[in-house]
């Protein structure tokens, strides 16, 4: 690998060596060597600049998710719900969606600034998405009752 290629692109001053960190969510492997993939789990390794780009993308996705969740909540407050229970479930789902978006924004921005993997924010995002999935599944079962 042409090492000066990466240093000139991401590190024009040619200062400290580039640290590559494994992309896998729960893998902590990192190295200063430019390896094609992580020797521990086989996922790709990225440098801080790449993690920053991903961080920006995560934050943008978070903004979209939060906007959808909050937007629908705002729209629904102008309509009458068929039942209290239905309202609680739907607001719960939308709030979880908005929270997931906010977690993604926070994690993405932190990653964009530091270039470090935002493991905990992404974990929170995944947990919220799972919660939404479970709630949505429950909603399907009880959909006839309201």
The site for Zn ion (CB under 5 A) is made up of: 22, 24, 27, 29, 38, 40-41, 43
Closest CA to 40 of 22, 56, 52: 22
Between residues 24 and 34, which has the closer beta carbon with respect to Zn ion?
A: 24
The C-alpha atoms of residue 62 and residue 99 are separated, in whole angstroms, by 9
92, 129 Cβ separation under 8 angstroms: no
Q: Shortest approach of Zn ion to residue 5 CB, angstroms?
A: 23
Q: Shortest approach of Zn ion to residue 128 CB, angstroms?
A: 24
Q: Shortest approach of Zn ion to residue 24 CB, angstroms?
A: 4
The C-alpha atoms of residue 69 and residue 116 are separated, in whole angstroms, by 27
């Amino acid at each position: 690998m042409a090492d000066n290629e990466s240093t000139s692109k991401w590190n024009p001053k040619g200062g400290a060596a580039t640290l590559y960190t494994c992309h896998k969510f729960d893998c902590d492997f990192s190295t200063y060597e430019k390896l094609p993939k992580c020797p521990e789990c086989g996922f790709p390794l990225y440098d801080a600049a790449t993690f920053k780009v991903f961080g920006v993308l995560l934050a943008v996705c978070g903004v979209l998710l939060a906007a959808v969740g909050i937007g629908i909540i705002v729209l629904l407050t102008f309509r009458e719900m068929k039942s209290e229970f239905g309202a609680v479930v739907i607001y719960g789902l939308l709030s979880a969606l908005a929270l997931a978006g906010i977690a993604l924004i926070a994690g993405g921005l932190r990653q964009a600034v530091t270039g470090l993997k935002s493991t905990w924010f992404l974990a929170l995002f995944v947990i919220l998405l799972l919660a939404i999935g479970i709630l949505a599944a429950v909603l399907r079962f009880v959909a006839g009752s309201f």
